[in-house]
Structure 1
Amino acid sequence: MRHRTSVAIVGAGPAGLLLGQLLHARGIDFVIVENRSREYALARIRAGVLEQSSVDVLESVGLADNLHERGLVHDGIYLQHEGVRTHIDFRDLVGRTVTVYGQQQVVRDLMAAHDAIGSSVYYEASDVTPSGVETPRPLLTFSHGGESHEVEADFIVGADGFHGVCRTIIPATEISVFERNYECAWLGILADVAPSTDELIYALHPDGFAMHSMRSTTVSRLYLQVEPDDDIANWSDERIWDGLHERLGTPGWTLNEGPITEKSITPMRSSVASTLSYGRLFLVGDAGHIVPPTGAKGLNSAISDVAMLGAAIGEHYDGTSTRLADYSRRALSRQWKTQYFSQWMTDMLHTPSIQTPKDLAAFRYRSQLGQLEFVTGSQHAQQTLAEQYTGLSIE
């Protein structure tokens, strides 16, 4: 079966689905192809904090009703060290907020919006292959339901993640990938218990980083720093709660426990491709870059890419291609600022690996305490954190 469309999108995660909605709002036709099932996309436990910038993008296409009804607006975060917890008030510092609203729910809202407009979204596609991106008529081929499909498009967008196919078709001579692997990982849990805090807690402790987040008023999301090669089988529910009590504890505060419904270990890394475009192929989100989760930037970075690219494609069909030609430079400029912030937060809040010599580890830990004391004691430092955490502007 042969199709013709303006934009062929590979990947039906939040980036691909949101781009489709932005194109629809401009009257631009598209096709979305995803190799996973719809159920898989809805089941993934991922990010849960939306920048003010991301909320603004979702509002712009009428996709924020559920977010405003169910999301938890936070005016700031807590930074904790040596048992002392300090509130960083974003609203007071920069007049902006963040919203706790799980990526699963964002995807659910986007799927419902596509169902309502009858979008062409192919789940469980196989042999997804983009080609001809150096030509005026790129082609996306795939199999679905036992039938072969060919989609001729003006542009192909890779929203297919770090392990997707789109980035791999860019010749090695035209792209480099800059990476950093961190010496720590996150053990994350979901627990059926009301949050023990009104806003997120980021804690540095001699035993390692800990974080208290949430997904709703009845579901808590919590994290412990572990070694990258650790095994989740080593962590009983009792051991996890003991670790959280120890690292998050402060005088007069109680951590509520509840049934753990999901637990996993996620290594931490940074990765940025040197270009997000090649011919008529464009990369968005994890297909082009990955950040450690400490700064809550993964989903938000994807949304900023999509907002830039969607507007640029719209202008192209209106007769102006300047911003489309400049998409990669503009998106990467914002991304490197995001990488800096995520790296800064990660280095400030995570203790050295157990493999680090003791004297070096002791020096680094004390320098981290000094850094946290400076940040929590300086309004200017807090404003810098608040500006970046709530989201840089999207051009």
Structure 2
Amino acid sequence: MRTQVGIIGAGPAGLFLAHLLRRAGIDSVVIESRSRADVEGTVRAGVLEHWVTVLMQGLGLGERMLRDGHFHDGITLQWNRQRHHVDIAGLTNGKHVTLYPQHEVLKDLIAGLLAAGNEIIFGAGGTTIRGAGTDTPAIDFRRDGAGPPETVDCDYVVGADGFHGPARQAIPAAHRTEYQKIYPFGWLGILTKAPLSWHELIYSNQQDGFALLSTRSPDVQRMYLQCDPADDIANWPDSRVWENLHARLDTADWSLTEGAIFQKGIIPLRSFVCEPMQYGRLFLAGDAAHIVPPTGAKGLNLAVADVLVLSRALEAQYRRNNPAGLAMYSATCLRRVWKAERFSWYMTTMLHSNDQETDFERRIHVADLDLVRTSESSARSLAENYVGLPFDDRHESG
């Protein structure tokens, strides 16, 4: 097999890149270790920044999102049993975020690619990268996991294969630096069949821990509780989950509406960045290069930002023989990555209880929250980061 760009991973980064390249007239093949059913059936949260929703519409993929997504003009911060509305639309000239689950985004991306004739190889096994540092990189894999070995010869290889994929490991250890922060708490997430309790997301910081009220549909809600990441989910019967959600979200004049819990799990929180995000003709994108705690809602959006930069750089190379964008890909993306890491760290530390912090640090976090309430410039900074920072076309256009 031969293609211009070989993409490993059918997550947001890989699939968005394939669409962007198709729009630019550049061939690509996507190779994914999971089955299509697994990719589309893994339920993941999704808060889309304003520019991502615009991009999806521009790619002709916005029909279901516009019909089924929830468009939010703000978020609610809660502490000391009081609530404060952050008017995102008012602070960002009318921009909003869209709640549309990641697995629904992937369904739209996959259906669009297959309808256009792009190849997605699901269920691939033994995927490895050869010649990343040469002018003739290739991807080796086995179809259906156990078929005969096959090779895709490429001009460029993109590793959009997540934290545990082979792409990052294909960069020699001597050529990469990895930064990581492990948080001493995790999230217990639930999906519940319950009516909408509040008109927007609530981020709550109470003495006994963080909680987040989100939504998936008018009758399915997503909620999270701060917990010990090493805890056993068996220690959290439904009654204990609801008791803690009420304790952290209820106010004097409002109480959370309960429902049947049909999904429950615990996830750890961490921050991670790999530098650089390229080696020879291999480029990393999405979780292969960086991970953010979910508090800032940046994971999917940051992955799409990576491949938007990369698609522009590849188009400049193929159409105008201009390699500048490819040479600067890592440096360009990392400027945005570290800003997203900072914002995610800021939201996470501000909103969670942490036994490893001093009383002084806890008081600083309360002051941060109150600054958002009393300072328009602080509120605007939060809103601009939450809804999605603009692209710096001087550096990101390719």
Query: If the length of structure 2 is used for normalisation, what is the TM-score?
Result: 0.95
Aligned to 2:153: 152
Alignment of 1:221-240 (within 5 A): 221-240=222-241
Contact 1:130/1:138, CA 8 A, preserved across alignment: yes
What's the secondary structure of 1:91's corresponding residue? helix
Q: 1:381 is matched with which residue: 378, 382, 388?
A: 378
Q: Say whether 1:195 aligns with 2:185.
A: no
SS in 2 for 1:6: strand
Tell me, in whole angstroms, the C-alpha distance in 2 between the residues paired with 1:281 and 1:206.
46
**Contact preservation (8 Å) 1:79, 1:376:** no
Q: 1:336 aligns with which of 319, 329, 338?
A: 338
Please give the alpha-carbon distance, in whole angstroms, between the structure 1 residues aligned to 2:187 and 2:39: 21
1:13 equivalenced with 2:11 (yes/no): yes
* Cα distance between partner residues in 2 of 1:332 and 1:57: 21
Alignment of 1:116-135 (within 5 A): 116-135=115-134
Report deviation, 1:322. 1.1
**1:349 is aligned to 2:359:** no
**8 A contact 1:48–1:215 mirrored in 2:** no
Which string of whole-angstrom CA distances, capped at 9 and with x for unpartnered residues, describes residues 265-310 of structure 1? 1100000001110000000000000000000000111010011111
Distance in 2, matches of 1:170 and 1:111, equals 28
Task: Name the structure 2 match of 1:254.
Answer: 255
User: What is the rounded CA distance, in whole Å, between the counterparts of 1:59 and 1:392 in structure 2?
Assistant: 19
Query: Is contact 1:23-1:310 (8 Å) kept?
Result: yes
| Partner in structure 1 of residue 364 of structure 2 | 367
What does the per-residue CA deviation read over 1:57-98, in whole Å, with 9 as the maximum and x for residues that have no partner? 222212212111111110010000010000000111112110
Q: RMSD of aligned C-alpha atoms?
A: 1.1
Match of 2:69 in 1: 71
Task: Provide the C-alpha distance between the structure 2 equivalents of 1:224 and 1:308, rounded to a whole number of angstroms.
Answer: 35
- Counterpart in 1 of 2:294? 293
CA contact (8 A) 1:8 1:157 kept: yes
Q: Which residue of 1 aligns with 2:389?
A: 392
User: What are the residue-to-residue correspondences of 1:274-285 with 2, within 5 Å?
Assistant: 274-285=275-286
Q: How big is each residue's C-alpha offset from its partner over 1:152-174, in whole Å with a ceiling of 9 and x where there is no partner?
A: 00000000000110000101111
Assess if the C-alpha contact under 8 Å between 2:249 and 2:255 holds in 1.
Answer: no
Rounded Cα–Cα distance in structure 2 between residues aligned with 1:121 and 1:382: 43
Query: Matched residues in 2 for 1:316 and 1:66: separation?
Result: 34
Pairing 1:180–2:202 present: no
Partner of 1:265: 266
Which letter does structure 2 place at the counterpart of 1:336?
W
Any idea what SS the aligned residue of 1:214 has?
coil
Post-superposition Cα deviations, 1:187-246, rounded to whole Å, max 9, x if no partner, equal: 001111122111000000011000000112221000000012111111001110110011
Q: How does 1:205-220 map to 2 (within 5 A)?
A: 205-220=206-221
| Partner of residue 85, structure 2 | 87
SS at match of 1:209: strand
CA offsets per residue over residues 322-341 of structure 1, 9 Å max, x none? 11111110000000000000
Q: Distance in 2 between matches of 1:192 and 1:105?
A: 18
Alpha-carbon distance in 2 for matches of 1:194, 1:362: 38
On the 8 A contact 1:90/1:97 being kept in 2, the answer is yes
Measure the CA separation in 1 of the matches of 2:128 and 2:167: 8
Q: Distance in 1 between matches of 2:253 and 2:104?
A: 34
Letter in 2 for 1:133: A
Mapped partners of 1:214, 1:311: distance in 2: 34
- How far apart, in 2, do the equivalents of 1:234 and 1:190 lie? 17
Contact in 1 for aligned 2:89/2:96 (Cα 8 Å): yes
Query: What amino acid does structure 1 have at the position aligned with 2:122?
Result: Y
Q: What are the residue-to-residue correspondences of 1:45-64 with 2, within 5 Å?
A: 45-64=43-62
The aligned amino acid for 1:287 is: A
**2:129/2:167 contact within 8 Å kept:** yes
Compare 60-69 and 199-208 and name the one that shifted more.
60-69
Preserved contact between residue 352 and residue 364 of structure 1 (Cα < 8 Å): no
**Residue 113 of structure 1 pairs with residue 112 of structure 2:** yes
Unaligned runs of 5+ in 1: none
Tell me the SS of whatever aligns to 2:270.
strand
Q: Distance in 1 between matches of 2:48 and 2:243?
A: 29
| 188-197 vs 334-343, which moves further | 188-197
Q: TM-score, normalised by structure 1?
A: 0.96
Secondary structure of 2:189's aligned partner: strand
Separation in 1, partners of 2:339, 2:8: 26
CA contact (8 A) 2:69 2:98 kept: yes
Amino acid at match of 1:313: L
Structure 1 residue 255, shift from structure 2 partner: 0.9
Percent of counterpart pairs with the same letter? Answer: 45
Task: Report the secondary structure of 1:36's partner residue.
Answer: coil
Give the Cα separation in 1 of the matches to 2:383 and 2:113: 34
Per-residue deviation, 1:254: 2.3
Residue 173 of structure 2 aligns to which amino acid in structure 1? A
Number of aligned residue pairs: give it.
Answer: 388
1:56 deviates by 2.3
- Aligned equivalents of 1:170, 1:148: Cα separation in 2: 22
- The alignment partner of 1:42 has SS state of helix
